[in-house]
Amino acid sequence: MAEEQEQLSYEAAREELVETVRKLEAGGTTLEESLALWERGERLATICQEWLDGARKRLDEVIEQAERS
């Protein structure tokens, strides 16, 4: 994970992503602000996906170990 991704928990990234989407949907921002929000949302979505992928990998490893026992 990149430095920023290590600093944000899944919950914090998800909460910020929800707020970012809310701002985009509400409108009233300039094109430049909207683009910045979109880019931030993309980064936050990536952080969330990496957390979920990591959790899935850990679960798969535990299941695999249990099946071998």
Does a structural domain hold residue 2?
Answer: no
> What digits encode the pLDDT tens for the residues 1-29?
445 545 899 999 999 999 999 999 999 99
Say if pTM beats, i.e. exceeds, 0.75. yes
Whether 42 has a pLDDT exceeding 90, the answer reads yes
Please give the Cα distance from 67 to 46 (Å, whole number).
Answer: 31
Number of domains in the chain: 1
Cβ neighbours for 9, distance < 8 A, ≥ 6 positions apart: 51
CB 17 within 8 A of CB 48: yes
Does a structural domain hold residue 3?
Answer: no
Does a structural domain hold residue 5?
Answer: no
Does a structural domain hold residue 4?
Answer: no
The number of beta carbons lying within 10 Å of the beta carbon of residue 48 is: 19
Does a structural domain hold residue 32?
Answer: yes
Note down the domain range covering 44. 10-68
Does a structural domain hold residue 47?
Answer: yes
Does a structural domain hold residue 56?
Answer: yes
